[in-house]
Amino acid sequence: MNLNAPAQIANYIGGALVAPVGGRYIPNINPATGETYSQTPDSDAQDVDAAVAAAKAAFPAWSVTPAEERFRLLNRIAELIDANLDALALAETNDNGKPLWLSKKVDIPRASSNFRFFATGIMHFSTDSHNMEDKAINYTLRQPVGIVGCISPWNLPLYLFTWKIAPALAAGNCVVAKPSEVTPMTAYLLSIICQEAGLPAGVLNILHGTGPGCGSAMVAHPAIKAISFTGSTRAGRDIAATAAPMFKKISLELGGKNPNIIFADCDWDKMMRTTIQSSFSNQGQICLCGSRILVEESIYEKFKEEFIARVKKLTVGDPLDENSKQGAVVSNMHFDKVRSCIDLALQEGGKILTGGNVVKLSGRCENGLFIEPTVIEGLGANCRTNMEEIFGPVVTLQSFKTEDEALQLANTSDYGLSATIWTQDISRANRVAAKVGSGIIWVNCWLLRDLRTPFGGFKNSGVGREGGWEALRFFTEPKNVCIEL
Ligand code: NAD
């Protein structure tokens, strides 16, 4: 099996690696070097039709393949991902700009965990039975939805792609999946792994292309019965507008503007260490990053001083250098967006405490897209900087006097994905956790993930939940059978 990045990526349809029908390609750029190092298919509705036809042909057999065999195949894919950690991590880093150590430690191991988790999960999935005493008995079947679409973003490419595909396949669906056109390489390499693992042809089909060109054709295709999407709130809204009148099942995991609420009684060292991570991991390009840091007034100055000192030590550098704490941001378009957000913060009256500048590296990375980790204060809760998602290495500081004020600031957002609470007062932790309008709350930790827990957001952060049984329920249709006794 050759897992070197090719100069030209192919779609994976009906078990074969094929060129896009229209013959068009998009350049794939390494954001750390600026180099175009491969070409990605610019697929369109014709490729979606071919993938759907392959999935349809595979569905009758796959949907009745015993769970034990689905387990075996998905587990085999997990093993092959683990065995090829180095090649996959390098591909992820070259596509995305994230430090190689991060791809090795987080992204790729999580991709194999996703397959392993849902491979074993399907062996334990059970359904309800409702007994009407001596009148009747009901039992509920959970049948695969059919052909489903999975669309994922660029920030955690293989990690989030597999988080959707694994439960969809485990539940007996055939899948048409599209990774982000900005980071297609590891999804392409997954096609080769699936071939090697012996996944039957057409069970999983991977298309490459843009949102408007390929993603929207998937969403509009009448044979695709469910869409699991992770990405921006803007695209989520478009997808809902197309899918809702077609009565498709939709799961939308969208943007975030998450509060990191720090009370004076926190475990200082742990809070400080974790807040550096929750602010800037993956260049701040994680939907769960705590981009609004809310600090109790009595410790605000102390926090500010130590936080800034630590942020200044975060080395921005070549993602292949193991000493780099921060790599490149993902694309030219995103680089411009983050810079314009920093300009906007200044126009709104914000003060940059550290960062705010582009970083120019020399040598291999002289044309790379690097931005200093940036901390901004002096802005109100309702300004655009504190309301709109930046999704880059930029955080703001605000102070609060009381628990009520902390909650008010935390909930001044159209988003509601996650929140972190730092306090040693367990009653307060529970009180605040119950009142913050977010789907995922961490107390005295961040990004600690148990794959069985429901994952998703309130408000503009999305609809539906992923993870554990929630994902297997999404990818199945319940059917109740009532038998009169
Ligand atoms: P994006 O919405 O631009 O693209 C995401 C994916 O959707 C890509 O594959 C893209 O090609 C496709 N797409 C775009 N428009 C589409 C359309 N109209 N129809 C169908 N497909 C379409 O998002 P992005 O810039 O790749 O990712 C960043 C966003 O993702 C941020 O907002 C971030 O918060 C969010 N995100 C959310 C989660 C979560 O779990 N809630 C996780 C990671 C990222």
Q: Give per-residue pLDDT as tens, 251-279.
A: 999 999 999 999 999 999 999 999 999 99
Q: Which amino acid is at 154?
A: W
Whether 238 is in the pocket of ligand 1, judged by its Cβ within 6 Å, is yes
User: What fold characterizes domain 11-254+461-484?
Assistant: Aldehyde Dehydrogenase; Chain A, domain 1 (3.40.605)
Average pLDDT in the 30-55 region?
A: 98
Average pLDDT in the 75-94 region?
A: 98
- Please tell me the distance between residue 158's alpha carbon and the centre of ligand 1 in angstroms: 14
Rounded-to-integer distance, Cα 43 and Cα 210, Å: 8
Whether 181 is in the pocket of ligand 1, judged by its Cβ within 6 Å, is yes
Residue 394's pLDDT band, with cuts at 50, 70 and 90, is very high
What pairing do the DSSP bridges indicate for beta strands 415-416 and 370-371? unpaired
CA 42 from chain centre, in angstroms, equals 22
Residue 326 neighbours by CB under 8 Å, 6+ apart: 99, 280, 283, 314, 315, 316, 317, 370, 373, 393
User: What fold characterizes domain 259-451?
Assistant: Aldehyde Dehydrogenase; Chain A, domain 2 (3.40.309)
- Please tell me the distance between residue 219's alpha carbon and the centre of ligand 1 in angstroms: 14
Residue 160's pLDDT band, with cuts at 50, 70 and 90, is very high
* Domain 11-254+461-484 shares a fold with domain 259-451: no
- Known catalytic residues are 253, 287
Residue 104 neighbours by CB under 8 Å, 6+ apart: 85, 86, 89
Rounded-to-integer distance, Cα 391 and Cα 466, Å: 21
CA dihedral 317, 323, 325, 327 (to 10 degrees): 30
Q: Where are the domains of the chain?
A: 11-254+461-484, 259-451
Decide: pTM greater than 0.85: yes
Whether 468 is in the pocket of ligand 1, judged by its Cβ within 6 Å, is no
Whether 232 is in the pocket of ligand 1, judged by its Cβ within 6 Å, is yes
